[in-house]
Structure formats: C-alpha cells, structure tokens
C-alpha cells in the first residue's frame, strides 16, 4: 500500500510539473505574437461586380459592350497581285544543260533563248478594322493593306464592300480606309491619356479568320516601345494588354467597358507567332491625330524637335552624373533644330512637355508626334540639377515651321527615296547645270523597278532638265505611265538611264 501511494503521489507531481512547464512555454511564446488581419471589404469589388439597368448588383459581364462594339469591327481582306516569272525554252536541246545558258547562246545563237512566262499570282492577307464614323471611315494597320491591289471589307452582318485607301502612315502603322455606305455602327474614340494600368479592356477582331472574336484582359502597361516598326520616323508608345491578340487581330479594336476605342491592336510579343500573354495597341490619341491629318491633308503633318534622344536610367544617370533617374536625355542637337534654336542643349534631360511628366523616349515621341509643324510646346528640362523652361516651335522634316506639301511628299514616298538638290560646287565639279541626288532608296517604285543605286544624281526626266525637287514632284504628280530619268554618279563615268512606271 505504501508503495502504491508513492506511485500515485509521483504521478500527480509529474502531471503538475508537465502542466506547469507547458504553461511557462505558452506564456513565453505569447510574448512573441504577430497579428493576422482578415480583410472583409476588398477594394477590388468593382472588378468582380457591377450594377445592371435595374440597379441590381450582379457579377461583372462584358455582354453589353461586346454587343455594342462587334458590329463596328470589320474583317479586311487585301489582295496583292504578284508576277511570278518562270522560263520556257524554244525547243528542247540537251546541250543547253551541259554548256549553260550563256555559253550555249554564244556558240549556237539566241534562237532557243529562255522565254519568260509571266504568271500573276494573288497574295492574300487578312486582318481587322474599326469603323470610326457612320460615313464608312475605317481605321486599320498599314501592314494589313500595304501594297494591296484590292481591298475587301466584310461587316459583321456579312455585307461586303470594296474599300479605297484615304491615306497611310507607316510611322505609326496606321491606315485610313473608306467604304461607300452610310448609317454604319461605329466606335467613338476616348482620351487614351486617361486610360490607367489595371483597367479592364476588350480586344475585338478576327484572329485566324474567326470573325467577331472578343477577348478580355487589362491594360498591363503604357508607353511601350518594342522596336517593331521599321519606318525611320517610327512612333512607338503602345498600350500593352493581356487580352488575347493573335494574327488577324491586327487593326482591330481595343475598347474600355463603356465601348470607347482605347487603341488599335497592332502587334504581339510572342516566340511562336501566336498569343503568349502580351499584345500592343496604338493609343487612341495617336489614332485621332493620324486620322484627322489623313482626311484633311492626305498625309500626316508631324512636328519634330530635331534632337537625338535616349531614355534615362540608373546607369546613364551615374555615367553622365545626372540629378534625375527618369526623363529623356538629349544626346545630340541636329542641324536646324527647333529644340536647339529654342535654347535646349546636349546633356539636358527633358522631364516635362506641356506640364505632362516625361519618363521615357516613347512618351516624348508620342506627345510631340501628336503636334503639327508650327505648334508651340512648353518643355521643361533638368540641366545639372536646375529646372529650366523653353517654348519650342516645332518644325517639319525639312526644318521649316510650316505644313508640308502633301502632293510632293506623297510622290517621294511612292518612289521610296530620299532626295535633295545638289549644291553649285558639286554641279561645277561634275560639269552639269544642277540636279537632284538620290540619297537613299527604300521599299518603293525605284527600288522595285530599277537598279538605281544611292548617290545617283538626276539631271533630266523624260528628256527635260530638272534641278529642283519641286520641279520633279510637280512633274510626277501629273504624270501617268512610264518615266525615264537620266543622270550621273559622282564616282562612276558616263551617263546612266533608268525607267520605271507610275
């Protein structure tokens, strides 16, 4: 009995010690507390619910805006006829394969020469477009209709129209078309400056020829430059979205939940050529500017600062000992520069334009690109830590504070060249009265139809002397059919002739 009593007492004491130890541990841990908060009223409720026409709170849906926008987004089919050249022989001679064409004709004469067989083939591209007013004006991407011989527009209700090109702007990859119809549904443009990152948007278009496709997402970023446009004056300040965009969506609408046009879908970032999470749209404010200019002038009248720039980042700020880490660094002042003549210097950092804060080159190019030659803009720069303000009157490509002659620019763009008048010293050295030098040759009539090289100096056109750019463009404006140009090269002897068709 005595032994049992001792065991009971030991058990009780052990339990007491265990309970006491546990209490001490709990009390000790209670001094190291942390707080977990439970949010009962999330600030993103508005992204999950909305109010219907009866005032009821319902889950957010995109049905109303989709019904409103889809009739105004069209399917575009552009057809380009290409001459595919094949060759046929007159006769069948096994010796030709042995000797080759040139040696065969040298020994046996040209009677069995290869004969070209021209076979036109249609190259068809498809995309989307957005009707922007009831009179049939449609905005799309320039790359959707570039070099097209025929453009066909299909509406959501299956009506089909032929479209004419009002004008194009390769700098923004936009084009304006028109079809012959009235009382059409259209999408109004909104102020894209007010669009915010995180805002809901819908992409409407015709991916993979699947007509009237709607996808949803948010604005992922603004002012994106992805270096996709090849034009030398390219303006890239894209709205980035995660709404699914695929081939065929190009030229389609990016709209907000009120059915307003936020931008024109233009490109995707993808390693495969299909949707991989990021799409890019030209902002509506750029679209508005381009459309207005194309309708009024037949071309985009764009203002220029005349400077070479790059975005400021931490490395550049350290390298150049700048006082800011955001803005646009002025690398170089060009000749006849609007910014330079106003007082802006190399090494300045542009931080504001018309009171709008500037963080990158894309933002600066967008804001300036929305202005005309002759417009005045207020620019604030940071110069070695000091803020300075300048009023800059923008100029055109030629360095003049006036609008450009649309006809002249259109002709030169069609030729695909950059030209200038030679000076008197060069003319005297070459023993000619004057001429027009072709500085560069791009993707145009000259490059496609002739073997002309950069540096060619045009002295005559169709046998008539030409010394001024204006003379050349006026002549070509009124010319139809074939053209023969005559001229010289500085480094090669003799006179050269090139022919092309307009």
Residue 364, H or E segment: helix 361-369
**Catalytic one of 173, 242, 293, 348:** 173
Phi, psi of 182 (to 5 degrees): -120, 170
Buried-exposed string 296-313: b where 16+ CB fall within 10 A, e elsewhere: ebebbbbbbbbbebebbe
Residues listed for the chain: 502
Phi, psi of 309 (to 5 degrees): -130, 165
Residues 6+ apart with CB under 8 A from 187: 69, 72, 73, 130, 131, 132, 253, 255, 259, 260, 261
Orientation angle between helical segments 469-477 and 406-415, nearest 10 degrees: 80
Whether 143 is catalytic? yes
* CA dist list (Å): 285 to 188, 237, 289, 461: 12, 11, 6, 42
Fill in the DSSP letter of residue 60.
Answer: -
Nearest by Cα to 435 from 424, 445, 444: 424
Whether 75 is catalytic? no
- Is residue 124 a contact partner of residue 143, using CB atoms and an 8 Å limit? no
Whether 250 is catalytic? yes
Orientation angle between helical segments 284-297 and 361-369, nearest 10 degrees: 30
Phi, psi of 3 (to 5 degrees): -70, -40
**Catalytic one of 75, 128, 143, 360:** 143
Phi, psi of 381 (to 5 degrees): -120, 155
- Alpha carbon distance 444, 284 (integer Å): 29
Residue 295 in 3-state DSSP?
A: helix
Can you say how many angstroms the Cα of residue 495 is from the centroid of all Cα atoms in its chain? 41
- Alpha carbon distance 141, 168 (integer Å): 9
**Catalytic one of 237, 250, 337, 360:** 250
Question: Which structure tokens are listed for 126?
Answer: 């498809």
Q: Which residues are catalytic?
A: 143, 173, 250
């Amino acid at each position: 009995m005595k032994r049992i009593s001792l065991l009971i007492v030991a058990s009780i004491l052990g339990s007491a010690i265990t309970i006491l130890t546990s209490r001490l541990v709990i009390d000790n841990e209670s001094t190291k507390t942390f707080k977990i908060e439970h949010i009962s009223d999330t600030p993103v409720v508005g992204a999950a619910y909305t109010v219907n026409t009866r005032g009821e709170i319902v889950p957010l849906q995109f049905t109303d805006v989709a019904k409103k926008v889809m009739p105004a987004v069209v399917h575009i089919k552009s057809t380009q006829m290409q001459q595919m050249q094949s060759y046929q022989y007159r006769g069948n001679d096994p010796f030709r394969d042995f000797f080759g064409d040139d040696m065969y004709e040298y020994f046996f004469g040209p009677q069995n020469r290869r004969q070209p067989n021209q076979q036109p083939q249609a190259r068809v591209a498809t995309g989307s477009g957005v009707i922007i007013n009831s009179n049939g004006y449609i905005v799309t991407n320039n790359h959707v209709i570039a070099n097209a011989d025929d453009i066909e527009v299909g509406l959501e209700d299956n009506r089909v129209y032929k479209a004419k090109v009002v004008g194009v702007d390769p700098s923004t990859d936009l084009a304006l078309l028109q079809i012959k119809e009235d009382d059409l549904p259209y999408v109004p443009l909104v102020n894209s400056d007010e669009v915010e990152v995180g805002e809901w948007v819908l992409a409407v278009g015709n991916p993979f020829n699947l007509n009237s496709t709607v996808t949803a997402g948010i604005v992922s970023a603004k002012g994106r430059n992805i270096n996709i446009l090849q034009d030398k004056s390219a303006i890239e300040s894209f709205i980035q979205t995660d709404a699914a965009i695929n081939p065929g969506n190009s030229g389609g609408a990016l709209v907000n939940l009120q059915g307003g046009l936020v931008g024109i879908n233009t490109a995707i970032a993808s390693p495969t050529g299909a949707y991989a999470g990021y799409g890019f749209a030209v902002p509506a404010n750029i679209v508005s500017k381009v459309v207005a200019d194309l309708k009024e002038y037949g071309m985009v009248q764009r203002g220029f600062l005349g400077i070479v720039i790059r975005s400021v980042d931490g490395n550049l700020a350290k390298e150049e000992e700048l006082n800011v880490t955001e803005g646009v660094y002025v690398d170089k002042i060009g000749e006849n520069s609007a910014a330079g003549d106003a007082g802006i210097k190399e090494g300045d950092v542009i931080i504001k334009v018309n009171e709008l804060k500037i963080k990158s080159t894309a933002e600066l190019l967008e804001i300036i690109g929305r202005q005309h030659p002759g417009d005045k803009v207020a620019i604030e720069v940071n110069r070695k830590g000091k803020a300075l303000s300048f009023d800059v009157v923008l100029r055109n490509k030629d360095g003049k504070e006036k609008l450009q002659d649309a006809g002249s620019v259109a002709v030169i763009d069609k030729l695909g060249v950059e030209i200038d008048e030679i000076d008197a010293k060069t003319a005297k050295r070459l023993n000619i009265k004057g001429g027009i030098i072709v500085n560069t040759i791009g993707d145009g009539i000259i490059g496609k139809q002739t073997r002309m090289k950069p540096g060619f100096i045009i002295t005559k056109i169709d046998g008539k002397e030409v010394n001024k750019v204006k003379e050349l463009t006026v002549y070509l404006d009124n010319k139809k059919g074939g053209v023969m140009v005559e001229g010289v090269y500085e480094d090669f002897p003799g006179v050269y002739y090139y022919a092309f068709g307009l």
